[in-house]
């Protein structure tokens, strides 16, 4: 069944909230309890021209941008060097603004708060914290809500990642301990029998002599066998001198 949005009179934890996410939700709820219609109106009247107040209002607007009709804002259109010029205008309807703050955890759980919202909220919250004085207690109260909203969003993303690992049967520790894939084998060294460069003859090759040419005599001619020597003696004619007359 569809989830019921919280009323302005109270706020209960979203379903499936556990662990660090539950603590983040309680902190978010605690800061929201300190924000009232009067404090929002005081914020708007005292924050004009105060850089810290305008930056905090911009951070809150970025966090809840486009989760409902209260803040319709394109994050990419904001100048990162200065607060949003219309940031204080959204506080003109404090009831709608507070209701959007209450919807934030449900919108986060439904995946309707993109990362760009949170990155922009972080940026302008850091800009506000660079100032020495927030000027009004309401400014400090809203800055605490923005900080808790960022923390809740990050806890939600962490819980979603762990849930995906559990669904796949892999724990977070096991995922970190998976060994890295082996390195590819090194290519084999080239063989020693490499073809000789053009114009050279490898030591184990013998080049045939061209026809009609004489091969040089070997320095050490092969010895003839004893059998061939005997045959040569038999073939020679006898040269016995004739007897004297």
Query: What does pLDDT average to over the chain?
Result: 73
Q: Which of 41, 127, 118, 113 is nearest to 83 (CA)?
A: 127
Counted residue by residue, the chain has a size of 245
pLDDT in tens, 113-141: 999 999 999 999 999 999 877 778 889 89
pLDDT in tens, 55-73: 999 999 999 999 998 899 8
Q: Which two tokens stand for residue 141?
A: 């109260």
Who's near 210: CB < 8 A, 6+ residues apart?
none
215 alpha-carbon distance from chain centroid: 73
Q: Which of 12, 18, 47 is nearest to 33 (CA)?
A: 12
Q: Which two tokens stand for residue 2?
A: 């569809």
Digits of tens for pLDDT over the chain (245 positions)? 333 333 333 444 444 445 688 999 999 999 999 999 999 999 999 888 899 999 999 999 999 999 998 899 899 999 999 999 899 999 999 999 999 999 999 999 999 999 999 999 999 999 999 987 777 888 989 999 999 999 999 999 887 665 555 555 554 455 445 454 455 555 555 544 444 444 554 444 454 555 555 554 444 544 444 444 434 434 444 454 555 55
């Amino acid at each position: 069944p569809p989830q019921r949005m919280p009323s302005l009179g109270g706020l209960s934890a979203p379903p499936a909230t556990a662990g660090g996410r539950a603590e983040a939700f309680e902190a978010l709820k605690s800061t929201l309890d300190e924000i009232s219609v009067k404090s929002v109106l005081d914020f708007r009247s005292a924050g004009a021209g105060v850089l810290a107040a305008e930056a905090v209002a911009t951070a809150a607007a970025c966090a809840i941008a486009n989760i409902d009709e209260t803040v319709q804002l394109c994050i990419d259109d904001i100048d990162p060097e200065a607060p949003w010029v219309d940031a204080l205008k959204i506080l003109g309807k404090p009831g709608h603004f507070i209701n959007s703050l209450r919807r934030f955890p449900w919108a986060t759980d439904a995946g309707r708060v993109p990362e760009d919202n949170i990155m922009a909220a972080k940026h302008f919250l850091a800009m506000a914290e660079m100032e020495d004085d927030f000027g009004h207690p309401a400014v400090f109260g809203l800055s605490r809500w923005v900080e808790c909203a960022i923390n809740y969003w990050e806890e939600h993303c962490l819980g979603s990642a762990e849930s995906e690992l559990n669904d796949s049967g892999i724990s977070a520790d096991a995922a970190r301990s998976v060994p890295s894939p082996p390195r590819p084998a090194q290519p084999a060294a080239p063989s020693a029998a490499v073809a000789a460069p053009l114009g050279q003859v490898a030591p184990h090759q013998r080049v045939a002599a061209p026809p009609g040419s004489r091969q040089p005599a070997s320095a050490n001619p092969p010895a003839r066998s004893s059998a061939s020597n005997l045959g040569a003696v038999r073939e020679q004619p006898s040269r016995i001198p004739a007897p004297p007359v």
